[in-house]
Structures are given as structure tokens and as C-alpha cells.
Chain A
Amino acid sequence: NAGVTQTPKFQVLKTGQSMTLQCAQDMNHNSMYWYRQDPGMGLRLIYYSASEGTTDKGEVPNGYNVSRLNKREFSLRLESAAPSQTSVYFCASRLWDTEAFFGQGTRLTVV
């Protein structure tokens, strides 16, 4: 039982490049989330998906897009990376309003 798996673990991008962060969960959870963590800022919600087929903006959605590909997978796309998007990105999932399980994070640096 792998839980929540994020790929890649590390990435360096040049300004203007695009990339997709992948997230998959094997716990049959309906809700999935993308957060970013910056020093002193805690975790800020980028986008979430309460169920397969729905996505909603969180607190800081600008510059990102998401796709809930199926119940297991929820990807985060940066179309044109900016240095302000340098951060650690966490994916999480949960069953309705129970506790969330987190992936190990993707450390992204945009230069």
C-alpha cells in the first residue's frame, strides 16, 4: 500500500519552462489536494478536487492548472514557470472530511 505518491521528488526549471507534477493515491479517496509550502507561510492550498470530475481553486491558484485524470490521479501543471513558484509542493488525499494523507513532496526550483 503506497499511499500518496508524488513524482518527481526534485526539479529545476528555467523561467518560462513548463512541467507537470504527478500525484497518485491508492486508497480510493475521493478528495485530492495540491499545496505549496514556503518558509514562514505554512501550507497554502493551490487547487483541490472533491471528487472525480471536479476541480476548484484554492487560496493561490494563479499560474497553475490541474487535472483530475481519474479517481487515483491528480496532476498540477505549471505552464510558464516563474521564480515565485520556487517552493515545495505537496499532494494530499482523503476520504470525505476525514484526515488527509500526504505525499513526500516535490522540491521545485525555478531559475
Chain B
Amino acid sequence: GEDVEQSLFLSVREGDSSVINCTYTDSSSTYLYWYKQEPGAGLQLLTYIFSNMDMKQDQRLTVLLNKKDKHLSLRIADTQTGDSAIYFCAESRDDKIIFGKGTRLHILP
């Protein structure tokens, strides 16, 4: 298909790890991104991974890339209330950036 797919909702208990999954479409995509959107705000780049990498770690964030399956995941360790937001997966395809519909992360106390 043409779409970047991700689940729409995820609930996680505070302190647990959150894992947000995404499938993308174009095996020739050079960069894959995770953006975070807080209520009423624009999108902020959270992290990205270049297509020749399998994993990238940045403090509490771990990105895993499986090029064979075109699968991307974002793991947030020790999830905090401030992590409550919508997370968008995106791929760089030709001159465009194509976004998934976003995963709303809800933190349970």
C-alpha cells in the first residue's frame, strides 16, 4: 500500500516502557522519523534513523529499523506523564515526507 501505518492508541503505566510501531512503504526511503505533537502545538522532531542503520539510541529513546519488513519502532523507557502526546512516524520518500496517522500515547498513573 501507499500509506505509513501505525496504531492509533497506546496506554502505558507510568514507569513502564512504551513501544510504538510503524510500517512504511518505500524500501528506498533514506530517512525515517519520529515526531511528537503535544496538544495545540506543532510537530517536533523526536528522533530519526538513517536507512543504513538497524538501531539508534538517544537517552530514553530507542529506534529499531527492520528494512526487510519495512518496520520501524520507537521505545520510550521509563515513560513519564510528560510523554503523553501524539507520536507520528514518517518516511522521506522522493522529495516528500509522508506521515502516518499518529499514535496517541496515554499514560496511566
Show the binding face of A for B, using Cβ within 8 Å. 31, 33, 35, 40-45, 48, 50, 56, 58, 90, 92, 94, 97-105
Q: Which residues of B contact A100 (CB under 8 A)?
A: 33, 45, 97
Q: Which residues of B contact A56 (CB under 8 A)?
A: 95
B97 touches A94 (CB 8 A): yes
Q: Which residues of B contact A98 (CB under 8 A)?
A: 31
Give the interface SS of chain B, mostly helix, strand, loop or mixed.
strand
Classify chain B's interface size.
20 to 34
Given known contacts A103-B42, A104-B42, is B99 in contact with A58 (CB within 8 Å)?
no
> Given known contacts A56-B95, A90-B43, A102-B44, what 11 new A-B pairs fall within 8 Å (CB)?
A33-B96, A41-B101, A42-B88, A43-B43, A44-B99, A45-B97, A92-B97, A94-B97, A101-B45, A103-B42, A104-B41
Q: Which residues of B contact A50 (CB under 8 A)?
A: 95
B42 touches A90 (CB 8 A): yes
Q: Which residues of A contact B100 (CB under 8 A)?
A: 42
Q: Which residues from 1 to 39 on chain B have a C-beta closer than 8 Å to any C-beta of chain A?
A: 8, 30-31, 33, 35
Q: Which residues of A contact B88 (CB under 8 A)?
A: 42-43
Which residue on B lies nearest to A97, using beta carbons? Answer: B92
A42 touches B101 (CB 8 A): yes
Provide the bound-state CA to CA distance between A102 and B45, in Å. Answer: 9
Which residue on B lies nearest to A44, using beta carbons? Answer: B99
